[in-house]
Amino acid sequence: MNIKKVGVVGCGLMGHGIVQVAAQGGCTVIALETEQAYLDKGISRIEKSIAKLASKDVKKGKLTEDQAKDWATEVRGRITGSINREDLADCDLVVEAIVEDLDAKKELFGALGKLCKAETIFASNTSSFPVAEMAVASGRPERFVGLHFFNPVQLMRLVEVVRTDATDEDVYAAARAFGEACGKTPVSCKDTPGFVVNRLLVPYMVQAINMLDRGDASAADIDAAMQLGCGHPMGPLTLTDYVGLDTTLSILEGWCERYPNEPAFGIPDSLRSKVAEGKLGRKTGQGYYTWEGDKKS
Ligand SMILES: NC(=O)c1ccc[n+]([C@@H]2O[C@H](COP(=O)([O-])OP(=O)(O)OC[C@H]3O[C@@H](n4cnc5c(N)ncnc54)[C@H](O)[C@@H]3O)[C@@H](O)[C@H]2O)c1
């Protein structure tokens, strides 16, 4: 099964990156948004990113100016924007990257299941919802996978390919090959909460918050310990501030509801209270640190 035409639903932070790497991988891509203004914003981000990559390749001596220009034109030429779902009808693969709202995702896949050709494979980029629930809503669970890309999509080299009990072997293989065509290294994972990366990362962030709240160590020391002792590029509390305390809380709340007996998903009180106070991390200037742009104290 060869994936040539791809639809990407949602052209926000993740979606615009997925559109771009799919086009760089040689696919024809339709980027679907709800409104023209959102679409324009996403496409303009893609154009800037393609131009940046092209000029980097010239600086590195990998491409001449003319070759870089041709490459950028070719990649951009594979991308079409749309605000009509019907335009996705003959896609080989549709990757969903809309807001993290299970009902919205189910509604979308229900509609796509009726609209798209029988062979179309569906994938969700969800970070926290069970893939199987969306697969059932699509009406074609055997042609459904999770394709979990990482932010920023253009730079991060991993994609988690999530298979449910119903996913067909050839659908899984095609999704994995698509991930490779996008320049990523695929890892295979069952449909479990957080898949591989977030299942390890979110409880780790929780443990760091608990450690801070108990007064075992300061925020700066916890972060320095993990950076200098484990070689992590940033410590867990800085990471929590970057991810957003609201996003972290919402992932944990979803998991706690579904898996109430899993101790690793316990929600720290300080996380709840900071979110209630609007201290959401770097984006609001206050989380576990105080932020001025990218500078924290
Ligand atoms: N942000 C991250 O670091 C990250 C990492 C991995 C996965 N994810 C997952 O990726 C998905 C998207 O997250 P994001 O951060 O890109 O969100 P975002 O808010 O930046 O983008 C979502 C986009 O989807 C559009 N949209 C909403 N409903 C739509 C619909 N029905 N049809 C078409 N477009 C629609 C919105 O207009 C918006 O532009 C979520 O499921 C999230 O959990 C996010």
Is the CB of 46 within 6 Å of ligand 1?
no
CB 47 within 8 A of CB 77: no
232 is catalytic: no
Phi then psi for residue 2, to 5 deg, are -105, 125
CB 94 within 8 A of CB 36: no
Q: For a ligand 1 pocket test, name from 11, 14, 283 the mutation site with the most ligand atoms within 8 angstroms of its C-beta.
A: 14
Looking at residues 255-265, what average pLDDT do you find? 93
CA–centroid distance, 251 to ligand 1, in Å, is 14
Is 100 assigned a catalytic role?
A: no
Query: Is 210 assigned a catalytic role?
Result: no
Pocket test for ligand 1, best of 46, 99, 251 (most atoms within 8 A of CB): 99
Residue to probe by mutation, ligand 1, list 9, 13, 108, most atoms within 8 Å of CB = 13
- Rounded to a whole number, what is the distance in angstroms from the first to the last CA of the chain? 52
Q: Which two tokens stand for residue 101?
A: 């709202």
Helix (H) or strand (E) holding 15: helix 13-24
| pTM beyond 0.85 | yes
Q: What is the Cβ-side half-sphere exposure of residue 199, based on CA atoms within 13 angstroms? A: 14
Upstream peptide bond of 152 is cis (omega within 30 degrees of 0): yes
Domain 199-283 indexed as CATH 1.10.1040.10: yes
CA distances from 295 to 154, 179, 228 (A): 24, 34, 19
pLDDT value for 1 = 73
Q: Where, residue-wise, is CATH 1.10.1040.10 in the chain?
A: 199-283
pLDDT digits (tens, 9 = 90+) for 109-163: 999 999 999 999 999 999 989 999 999 999 999 999 999 999 999 999 999 999 9
What is the structure's pLDDT at 41?
98
Q: In this model, does residue 294 exceed pLDDT 90? A: no
Cβ of 151 below 6 Å from ligand 1: yes
**Strand partners for 281:** 286
Ligand 1 neighbour 254 (Cβ under 6 A) = no
Distance from Cα 15 to the centre of ligand 1, integer Å? 6
Instruction: Tell me where in the chain the CATH 3.40.50.720 domain(s) lie.
Output: 5-190
User: What fold characterizes domain 5-190?
Assistant: Rossmann fold (3.40.50)
Q: What is the DSSP string of 47-85?
A: HHHHHHHHHHHHHTTSS-HHHHHHHHHHHHHTEEEES-G
Split at pLDDT 50, 70, 90, the class of 186 is very high
Angstrom distance (rounded) from CA 238 to CA 216: 17
Q: Is 124 an annotated catalytic residue?
A: no
pLDDT category at 290 given cuts 50, 70, 90 is very high
What is the rounded distance in angstroms from the CA atom of residue 169 to the CA atom of residue 163?
Answer: 9
Atom of ligand 1 nearest to the CA of 42: 39
